[in-house]
Amino acid sequence: MDFSKSMSVAASGMRAQADRMRIIAENIANANSTSPVKGGDPYRRKIATVTPTFDRELDATLVKSGKPLPDKSDFKSQYDPGNPNADKQGYVKLPNVDSLVEIMDMREAQRSYEADLSVMESTKQMLAKTVDLLNK
């Protein structure tokens, strides 16, 4: 029984989901930000990536956070002629972040994190029971 392997795999999943939640939190925090310079582009939504990596020492496939990718979808625009970042028609470019999508992604990342945590807790309980049996 190789408990350390299952713990390492679950831990890699937890790290990847924590990184994913950090990127989602960054997206949510910037959902209403505008460009720091007149006529520039606002914050562009980032998409978290996860890649599998084979660990020869563990003989298991772990997951690792990849480099976040920019979301290529169009920016939103809002009519706000009084805004200093407004163009000649009075429109301001806003980030391509949809808070509802981000919240749904956050819930999915949270559930994945909790599933990995459950694996770690179950493995820990099995290890403790094995130790108890060996001590009897």
Q: Write out the residue range of the structural domain in which residue 18 sits.
A: 3-135
- Using the structure block, give the residue that is written with the tokens 């820990």: 124
How much is the pLDDT for 61?
A: 94
How much is the pLDDT for 8?
A: 93
- What length does the chain have? 136
Per-residue pLDDT 10s for the chain (136 aa) are: 588 899 999 999 999 999 999 999 999 999 999 888 887 899 999 999 999 999 999 999 999 999 999 999 999 999 999 888 888 899 999 999 999 999 999 999 999 999 999 999 999 999 889 888 888 7
> Cα dist. 113→25, 35, 42, 96, 136 in Å?
15, 33, 31, 26, 35
Which DSSP string corresponds to 65-87? E-PPEEP-SPPEEEE-TTSTT--
Name the domain count of the chain.
Answer: 1
Q: What is the pTM of this model?
A: 0.86
